[in-house]
Amino acid sequence: MIRRALASSQLGLVLVIVLLGTILTISAGSHVDPRSGLEINSFLNSYTLIQTATDASFFAIMAVGATLVIIAGGIDLSVGSIYALAGVAAAMVLRAMGPMDSLATFAVGAGVALGVGLVCGTFNGLMVVGLKVHPFIITLGTMWILRGIAFVTSEAQSILLPGSLTAVAKASLGLGAALYPVPMLVMLAVTACGSVYLGGTVMGRHIFAVGGNEEASRFAGLRIGRIKTGVFVLSGLLAGLAAFIGASFYGSASSADGTGYELYVIASAVVGGASLSGGKGSAVSAMLGALLIVLIRQSIRTLHFDQNYEWIIIGSAVVIAVVLDQASARFTARRLARGTGR
């Protein structure tokens, strides 16, 4: 049990996150809290920690969906565009419907954002399965198509959402002023559900089987097309959920929202240990990968590096993660070959 924990990629991620957090704690310095008058560390305090988790939550929610796609042997480049279109659609529908009570506003906004995500994910999945084209090409195309739809329908305007939604997304839940844990709690809930789905359900095991060996899965009688379509549906659904939480939290939505998010989402999944060749990954590791990416960004700002280094560091982290995954796969293959030879 202890040996398995020490060998897990999640423990490695936790150790790196702790190391980065320690560096930030030492480097950030301290300041006087205007409310309490006490001197506190500029990083290791409740406000900064919850804000860091909030920044990671939108990536992490989508990274769980992207991890499902990657485990099944695919990739989804359209999540940032789905995020933008779902947020814009929810904001436009709520604006058109006018004032409503808080419950109706929440239900309509969530329904539209999740519905758009569901439709976009289904569209991606059906295109990949029906046209038999690599998902990289399909989702690269839909990435531009969906963002273009968001741009045209919103006329490139930023659309405000009702204040009742922002009040829910920024509810303090008794933690005090300026502490908004709702996005973090949604991230944890999605991660828990994703972990149970992948590790504790038959459908989750089927996703691993398809990604590990599609031909063997087909001979075993698995419905490959349905499974592949399903992971894209879930990826789109979670992008819609992230869009609803993000737009509600920030109080507005525009066609520019989520630009570049596909890099952060895929990086979170890959750094979290998801194999681009399929058959490997976990929801918890995707969340930890998102936290690590956000901490890298925060480290660059705290240590006063040029912010353009962010792209270099994150890109390097993705390359290193893929190289390590390939090396691990080759080592495992050689070890199995030696065992068979005996």
pLDDT of residue 202: 93
57 within 8 A of 245, measured Cβ to Cβ: yes
Q: What percent of the chain has pLDDT over 70?
A: 93
Q: What is the mean pLDDT of the chain?
A: 87
Q: What is the pLDDT of residues 249-274, one digit of tens each?
A: 999 999 999 998 898 899 899 888 88
Residue 189's Cβ-count burial label (10 Å; 0-12, 13-18, 19+) is exposed
The mean pLDDT of 125-154, rounded to a whole number, is 95
Residue 268's Cβ-count burial label (10 Å; 0-12, 13-18, 19+) is buried
The mean pLDDT of 114-126, rounded to a whole number, is 97
pLDDT of residue 310: 75
Residue 6 vs residue 299, higher pLDDT? 299
Q: Is the pLDDT of residue 317 over 80?
A: no
Q: What is the pLDDT of residues 87-109, one digit of tens each?
A: 999 999 999 988 888 899 999 99
The mean pLDDT of 119-131, rounded to a whole number, is 96
Q: Is 262 helix (H, G, I), strand (E, B) or coil?
A: helix
Q: Is the pLDDT of residue 1 over 50?
A: no
pLDDT of residue 6: 41
Q: What is the pLDDT of residues 208-262, one digit of tens each?
A: 999 999 999 999 899 999 999 999 999 999 999 999 999 999 999 999 999 988 9
Q: Is the pLDDT of residue 86 over 90?
A: yes
Of 10, 1, 3, 2, which is closest to residue 282 (Cα–Cα)? 10
Residue 334 vs residue 147, higher pLDDT? 147
Q: How far apart are CA 20 and CA 3, in angstroms?
A: 24
Q: Say which residue the tokens 């990657």 belong to.
A: 70
Question: Which amino acid, 167?
Answer: A
Q: Is the pLDDT of residue 62 over 90?
A: yes
pLDDT of residue 329: 65
CA angle at residue 196 from 107 to 49, to 5 degrees? 70
pLDDT of residue 8: 58
The mean pLDDT of 143-170, rounded to a whole number, is 93
* Residue 40: strand pairing partners: 31
pLDDT of residue 336: 63
Largest CA distance in the chain: 74
Q: How far apart are CA 187 and CA 168, in angstroms?
A: 15
Q: Which domains does the chain have, with CATH numbers?
A: 44-325 (1.10.3470)
pLDDT of residue 16: 84
CA torsion through residues 328, 334, 340, 342, sign: negative
Q: Is the pLDDT of residue 144 over 80?
A: yes
Alpha helix segments (H runs only) across the chain: 2-7, 9-28, 46-71, 79-97, 102-131, 135-154, 163-169, 182-200, 202-212, 214-219, 224-250, 261-271, 283-302, 309-341
